[in-house]
Amino acid sequence: MTAAVARLVDSHCHLDFPDFAGQVPEVLARAEANGVAHLVTICTRVSEFDKVLAIAESDPRISCSVGIHPHEADLEPAVDADRLVELARHPKVVGIGEAGLDYYYDKSPRERQRQVFATHIEAARRAGLPLIVHSRDADEDTIAGLEAGAGKGGQYGQPLTGVIHCFTSTQKLADAALAIGFYISLSGIVTFKNAEALRAVIRTVPLDRLLVETDAPYLAPVPKRGKPNEPSFVRHTAEFAAGMFGLSHAEFAARTTDNFRRLFWKAAVQ
């Protein structure tokens, strides 16, 4: 039986990375053939934002974000929340980030990472857009930063919303993020054989708080593990996760796509 292809969203990929140079139309065609209705190409350096935006502007199925990855926090020229809010006014910009803390690689000093993260939290609230959070080996400080940002008063703008992208952290971070209204995004890692501890955490996430992503070009899911990742592969992650929750692929795709629309309200998902 060839069921109608379920409509999915790849909520996080990096189409501006050299891996995809000159290939975006082909990547989109393969994504479309696998039911990917929309994708968000994620900014990691504000100094490269124009390139990211140009990719988003090249096709109605692509949105983008604006922000500084924690790896780049020390190298990028400083930006303040005003500048992020101004760039986020563009209709193609649907989220702030990716921003956060990465104490596994520690590519930028931790104090600098925390400062840049706080700036993005403020910008997300003032822009009324979801914050796309990258967190690795930094649960305590991620929770502290998010709770502090969420706890600021109304003069800071809209309530803080967002997603912990490529979730690989502990139950503690999942619980804290869910408690302040955040979503949890599943990458291909959830399909890996040795990821049983991660799957145990993911099974506790309510179905109305889950998103799916590739984080392409990294971390291709099983059965594409080891290959360069691309947005069409989000289908494998979604099919696997549907099985974890005892749902059909169509049902799981519909739920995560609804969740995406609710959180990323500016994205024009066809």
* Residues lying near Zn ion in the complex (CB under 5 A): 134, 215
User: Whole-number minimum distance, CB 155 to Zn ion, in Å?
Assistant: 30
User: Whole-number minimum distance, CB 137 to Zn ion, in Å?
Assistant: 13
Which string of b and e fits 88-97 if b means at least 16 CB within 10 Å?
beeebbbbbb
**Ordered DSSP codes for 186-248:** E-GGGGSTT-HHHHHHHTTS-GGGEEE---BTS-PPTTSTTSPP-GGGHHHHHHHHHHHTT--
Instruction: Dig out the tokens for 67 from the structure.
Output: 């922000």
Contact criterion met (CB below 8 Å) for 166 and 134: yes
End-to-end CA distance of the chain: 25
User: Whole-number minimum distance, CB 264 to Zn ion, in Å?
Assistant: 15
Per DSSP bridges, beta strands 62-66 and 93-102 are: parallel
Residue nearest to Zn ion (CB): 134
Using the minimum distance from each CB to Zn ion, give the nearer residue, 41 or 257: 41
User: Whole-number minimum distance, CB 213 to Zn ion, in Å?
Assistant: 8
Using the minimum distance from each CB to Zn ion, give the nearer residue, 139 or 215: 215
User: Whole-number minimum distance, CB 12 to Zn ion, in Å?
Assistant: 6
Using the minimum distance from each CB to Zn ion, give the nearer residue, 6 or 99: 99
Q: Which of 142, 143, 138, 160 is nearest to 151 (CA)?
A: 160
Using the minimum distance from each CB to Zn ion, give the nearer residue, 84 or 242: 84
Using the minimum distance from each CB to Zn ion, give the nearer residue, 195 or 250: 195
